[in-house]
Amino acid sequence: MGCDLRRLAILFAVVSSLRADTFYLTVAGLGDEPDYEQRFSGWAKDLDKLLRASEPGAKITTLSGGEATKANLEARLREIAKQAKPDDSFILMMIGHGTFDEIDYKFNLPGPDISATEMSALLDKIPASHQLVVNMTSASGGSLIGFEKPKRVVITATKSGTEKNATVFARYWVEALRDPAADTDKNEVITALEAFRYAEQKTAKFFETQNRLATEHALIEDTGKGEGVKAPSPENGQGLIAGRFPLVHLGAAAAQARDPEKQKLLAHKEELESAIDELKYRKASMPLSEYRRQLSQYLVELAKTQEALDK
């Protein structure tokens, strides 16, 4: 009976995921200087291109240059709030400069800036239950408290609002979404957690190689409470939701995502992998024999699903 109930739960999740949409909104803010303008808009264009190539059918919007205004950003967030369903996913990626006045964070845009408080109020109206905010601007750490919410993954390029130098985190975030090396479990799906770890490590290496004092320290938070962390783990309770939040598909997985006959199997595979991740987080609180039994069941089913995908 227990096995049947689990299979029904997985089947329901698969069916739900097949009709779910993913909304990507990338915003490259004001650069102030030609170098930053080009850099920010270039990263936004790179993200737009790779998302359109790897995620057919996704709802992708990119705002940069003169289009990246507060009015346009607010309008798009309101549109998504009307279009999105509870089973959908929403990803907001912010590139550029930010400021923090010890009270609120502001994202620098052409014309009026927009605050984390204002954006968070709009995000709260989006019914999508799977949400990811990647704030890659300077002073972005100051926005974490404003954005955090239960089940929402929040990533910031800096650990506080006082790290005000221009960041390089966005460069490596883009790289993470197209580099197979970021796919540490080799399942051809890069999750928010994998992309964060890749970009965080690359950013730290950048400063080390340049023999420079690091002026940015990326954080991730996905519990909706507390402070962000640099190294998410079962011990600090961070990373579970981010670890099962798919961002992009690579290689064969991308081709399978375009094939209607493979979609159901691919969704089932991702659900099984999420179940395994969650089981690992619960390992310490359950009998070892029960952990091994459940893990074995998941792995057998995963192997069968992968075999079907490979045919």
Considering the domain architecture, whether residues 141 and 267 belong to the same structural domain is answered as: no
For residues 275 and 297, the answer to whether their CB atoms sit within 8 Å is: no
Contact 40, 96 (CB under 8 A): yes
Per residue in 245-273, pLDDT (tens digit) is 999 988 765 666 667 777 788 778 778 77
pLDDT, residue 264, reads 81
φ and ψ at residue 117, rounded to 5 degrees: -60, -45
- Please tell me the total count of domains within the chain: 2
Per-residue pLDDT band at 18 (split at 50, 70, 90): very low
Per-residue pLDDT, 32: 80
Percent of the chain with pLDDT over 90: 55
DSSP annotation of 229 reads: B
Q: How far is CA 310 from the centre of its chain?
A: 27
Confidence of residue 15 (pLDDT cuts 50, 70, 90): very low
Q: Is the pLDDT of residue 213 over 80?
A: yes
What's the order of all strands across the beta sheet hosting 98-100?
98-100, 105-107, 114-115
Query: How confident is the model at residue 2, as a pLDDT?
Result: 45
pLDDT of residue 7: 46
Query: 61 and 85: one domain?
Result: yes
Question: Does residue 174 sit in the same domain as residue 232?
Answer: yes
- The domain boundary, picked from 199, 234, 250, lies at 250
pLDDT of residue 114: 97
Contacts of residue 9, defined as CB under 8 A and 6 or more positions apart, other chains included, come to none
- Is residue 33 located within the same domain as residue 75? yes
The answer on 288 and 242 residing in a single domain is no
**Contact between residue 218 and residue 203 where contact means Cβ atoms under 8 Å apart:** yes
Q: What pLDDT, on a 0 to 100 scale, did the predictor assign at position 30?
A: 93
Angle (CA) 283-285-289 rounded to 5° is 60
Kindly state whether residues 246 and 298 are assigned to the same domain.
Answer: no
Q: Distances from the Cα of 109 to the Cαs of 130, 146, 158, 267, 278, in angstroms?
A: 26, 18, 19, 38, 39
DSSP code, position 151: T
pLDDT digits (tens, 9 = 90+) for 33-76: 777 888 898 899 999 989 998 898 899 999 999 999 999 999 99
pLDDT above 90: residue 199: yes
Q: What 3-state class would DSSP assign to 135?
A: strand
Q: Are residues 179 and 64 in the same domain?
A: yes
What is the spatial distance between Cα 78 and Cα 101, in angstroms, rounded to a whole number?
27
Q: Which domain holds residue 285?
A: 2-12+253-310
The whole-number pLDDT of residue 8 equals 41
Same domain, yes or no, for 139 and 268?
no
Own/partner pairs, 161-166, CB within 8 angstroms, 24+ separation: 161/99, 161/100, 161/102, 161/105, 162/100, 163/138, 163/139, 163/215, 163/216, 163/217, 164/99, 164/100, 164/138, 164/139, 165/138, 165/215, 165/216, 166/36, 166/97, 166/138
Name the domain boundary from 209, 233, 250.
250
Determine the pLDDT at residue 122: 97
Burial call 91-128: b when 16+ CB within 10 Å, e when fewer: bbbbbbbbbbeeebbbbbbbeebbbbebbbebbeebeb
For residue range 105-115, list pLDDT tens digits in order. 999 999 999 99
Residue 72 sits in a domain of what CATH number?
3.40.50.1460
Residues in the chain: 311
The answer to whether residue 236 scores a pLDDT higher than 80 is yes
The residue among 225 and 3 whose pLDDT is bigger is 225
**Cα end-to-end distance, the chain, whole Å:** 31
Say whether both 296 and 179 belong to one domain.
no
Query: Which of the 8 DSSP states describes residue 167?
Result: P
My answer on whether 242 and 200 are in the same domain is yes
| Cβ–Cβ < 8 Å for 26, 47 | yes
Name beta bridge partners: 132.
91, 153
For residues 204 and 57, membership in a common domain is answered with: yes
Is 225 found in the same domain as 79? yes
* Alpha-carbon distances, residue 81 vs 17, 56, 61, 103 (angstroms): 19, 21, 14, 27
Domain boundary among 228, 250, 272: 250
What pLDDT, on a 0 to 100 scale, did the predictor assign at position 143?
95
pLDDT in tens, 138-154: 999 999 999 999 989 99
